[in-house]
Amino acid sequence: MMLPNLKDAKKRTKNKIQIIKDDYVIPNDVKNVGINKKYHIITYGCQMNVHDSENISAILEDMKYIRTDNMDEADIIVINTCAIRENAHNKVVGMLGRIKHLRETKKDIITIFCGCMAQEESIANMIKDKYKWVDIVFGTHNIHKLPIYLSDLYKSRKQEIEVYSIEGVVYEGIPVKRDSKYKAWVNIMYGCDKFCTYCIVPYTRGKQRSRLPEDILKEVEELKKEGYMEITLLGQNVNAYGKDLDINYTMTNLLEDVAKIGIPRVRFITSHPWDFTDDMIDVIAKYDNVMPYIHLPIQSGSSRILKLMGRRYTKEEYIELFNKIKNKIPNVAISTDIIVGFPGETEEDFKDTLEVVDKLKYDLAYTFIFSKRVGTPAYNMEDNVSMEEKKERLARLNELVNKYANINNMKYKDKVVEVLIEGASEKQGYLMGYTDTMKLVNVKCDESYLGKIVNVKITDVKTWSLDGELYNE
């Protein structure tokens, strides 16, 4: 058993990142263990976790398990957890309750608990003490060892907990079973060194570590050969890509090299404003296949709060960057993340946030109430804003955010836009996809259009989506 340790998770040394290419092995005794067995996987959290789940699926399928979307018929249930806010926690605890119930009639279900919550000391301890029936717990640093844990479990039937609190290494050669045939996630870096004072990610994901350019470009080339239409480069801070590599190769270089491979759509998330260079803006503007959509979290419109958050930019610097992006990239859409109720946020600070939103008119904003995370600096900051007040601020903010989401969407009325048709829509007779600017569109068409980029005339506009029909000149 190895439990996580907050002190180690905080550590950052100058040690060089290790790249390991041959650590994924399937022991002989579990090579065919999944024959006639099914797995079900539940994923919470960000795209990083979604992509990790694609790795976990592939690993299980390597052992011949088959995927099922019906939890009731699963022999293995995997919960890939998120620790970012308290409500993410609560959902997971609720899910554990459901699985426990299921086990009453199906004793031999294997339950696997992984992801960012597993990296938290208190949670790993809780599983050890209160959820003894959970079979395997591993963290974000050792997904590739799942076959070994399963092999051990089949031999001993004892709870197996192995969570490393290390700065991290980069593992190559872990298989992936992608959810989509048209869109693919590509990790370009892992971890985060920004240590924003509210955020748990640097502890759950370890030190920033970039993959080597050649490994990323090889993956993208393969995706091109397989016919993928869109890729999204993934990292907590993609703009800081390469800074840890010592090779004089930056996100700008990577984005340009990836664009040149020629996949029709290239996206990236998330951009921290701190590392956003002019060169990078130029590359986005220069290449038609780099999509004009940027997620640029602001977190707060008050420079005082931004300082307390450790975000390393002021309101003015953010606005300057925002305007530069808007001016240089035609038709660009920008979305953001905002936290309300950070410890000590006054009505005045909050009004600064409203003011910035009013000025910048975001296409979309994801808004959150501050949630205290154990081990982060903000955990100990004096928080004298009541929950009632925080909820009220969130409602006021959302009203403004929705107003601009709607106004921005209205601009699309009767326009013809390109949409990559990717799957079922909630609307009967329609399929769904996104514009280059990441607007969700329900398109009246049949399944022969799946995986194609088509011209769509927008017929109807809502706050969160657009409706449209195929358009032929």
Q: Are 171 and 23 in contact (CB under 8 A)?
A: yes
- Does position 188 bind ligand F3S by CB under 6 A? no
Q: Which of residues 56-115 bind ligand SAH (CB under 6 A)?
A: 84-85
Is the four-CA dihedral 252, 254, 260, 266 of positive or negative sign?
negative
β-strand 293-295 against 333-340: which pairing, if any?
parallel
Which one, 192 or 466, has the nearer CB to ligand SF4? Answer: 192
- Does position 250 bind ligand SF4 by CB under 6 A? no
Could you tell me the two tokens for 69? Answer: 């979307």
Full DSSP string of 204-232: HH-S-EEPPHHHHHHHHHHHHHTT--EEE
Q: What distance in Å separates the CA atoms of residue 168 and residue 4, rounded to the nearest whole number?
A: 13
Quick note: the x/- pattern for ligand SAH over 189-228, rule CB under 6 A, is ---------xx-x---------------------------
The secondary structure of residue 379, as a DSSP letter, is G
Q: What distance in Å separates the CA atoms of residue 111 and residue 76, rounded to the nearest whole number?
A: 6
Q: Which of ligand F3S, ligand SF4, ligand SAH, none does residue 204 bind to, with CB < 5 to 8 Å depending on kind?
A: ligand F3S
Instruction: State the minimum distance, in angstroms, from the CB of residue 206 to ligand SF4.
Output: 11
Could you tell me the two tokens for 114? Answer: 């992984």
- φ, ψ at 66 (rounded to 5°): -115, 145
- Does position 337 bind ligand SAH by CB under 6 A? yes
Q: Which of ligand SF4, ligand F3S, ligand SAH, none does residue 371 bind to, with CB < 5 to 8 Å depending on kind?
A: ligand SAH
- Count the site residues for ligand F3S by CB under 6 A: 13
Q: Which of ligand SAH, ligand SF4, ligand F3S, none does residue 202 bind to, with CB < 5 to 8 Å depending on kind?
A: ligand SF4
Residues 171-204, buried b or exposed e (16+ Cβ, 10 A)? bbebebebeeebbbbbbbbbbbbbebbbbbbbbb
- Does position 204 bind ligand F3S by CB under 6 A? yes
Instruction: State the minimum distance, in angstroms, from the CB of residue 389 to ligand F3S.
Output: 25
Which one, 82 or 110, has the nearer CB to ligand F3S? Answer: 82
The secondary structure element, H or E, covering residue 348 is helix 347-360
Q: Which of ligand SAH, ligand SF4, ligand F3S, none does residue 292 bind to, with CB < 5 to 8 Å depending on kind?
A: none
Which residues in this chain contact ligand SAH in the complex, by CB under 6 A? 84-85, 198-199, 201, 236-237, 270, 272, 297, 299, 337, 339, 368, 370-371, 373
Q: Tell me which residues touch ligand F3S (CB under 6 A).
A: 45-46, 48-49, 82-84, 115-116, 200-201, 204-205
